[in-house]
Chain A
Amino acid sequence: DAGVIQSPRHEVTEMGQEVTLRCKPISGHDYLFWYRQTMMRGLELLIYFNNNVPIDDSGMPEDRFSAKMPNASFSTLKIQPSEPRDSAVYFCASRAGGGMNTEAFFGQGTRLTVV
């Protein structure tokens, strides 16, 4: 398995544009997480899914953010419209099982710059 795959690796967009980030979790993992990394706030949990169902989206900053998981092998995080303060690195992670100390595996992240 190639691990968690995110695309694109880098995204530069203009304020007001729609941005879609993509994630392919590790096959067989039933939990998927979206995080945002900034110097100020560290690694913030935005939303997580269990068996493709969103469980907790309380970390999604605004209605401009939305996430979907149409099947077990694909998830998207969309920002519409994007703003400069959304600039950050966005990580996707997947995990087999919610507990029992299972390890979460991370993608390489998408560095988003909104100008």
Chain B
Amino acid sequence: AQRVTQPEKLLSVFKGAPVELKCNYSYSGSPELFWYVQYSRQRLQLLLRHISRESIKGFTADLNKGETSFHLKKPFAQEEDSAMYYCALSGRAGGTSYGKLTFGQGTILTVHP
């Protein structure tokens, strides 16, 4: 079975402060991991994926297989980062649940001025 856990439902920080949104996963295989974001009144959209090792809007996420984590980080939060963030896992080819895309419970990030 594949499972994604985001332990924090709500996270509040002040503008300019560092932010870390936690994500832990459970999967019997090598997963593909993503972060999706939902801004107010907008569709859920992809923020970044672990395979790309990219930084989007200043956010980065590193896959730690030892800790089965994929935490999302940003050194200096901005007010426009306020949104709902979801961590997601997809089964890889050749493994069980290939193609299945599972999301965590989500974390609402609020960045105060």
Q: Which residues of A pack against B, CB within 8 Å?
A: 3, 31, 33, 35, 39, 41-45, 48, 50, 55-56, 91, 93, 95, 97-101, 103-104, 106-109
Contacts and interface: CB of A to CB of B under 8 A. Distances in A.
A1 to B, nearest CB: 14
B93 A99 contact: yes
A45 B104 CA distance: 10
Nearest to B97: A56
A104 B97 CA distance: 16
Interface string B92-113: 1100011111111110000000
Q: State the majority secondary structure of interface residues on A.
A: strand
B100 A99 contact: no
Contacts of A3: 43
B81 interface: no
What 6 pairs across the A-B complex have the smallest Cβ distances? Answer: A98-B99, A42-B105, A43-B103, A106-B44, A42-B106, A103-B46
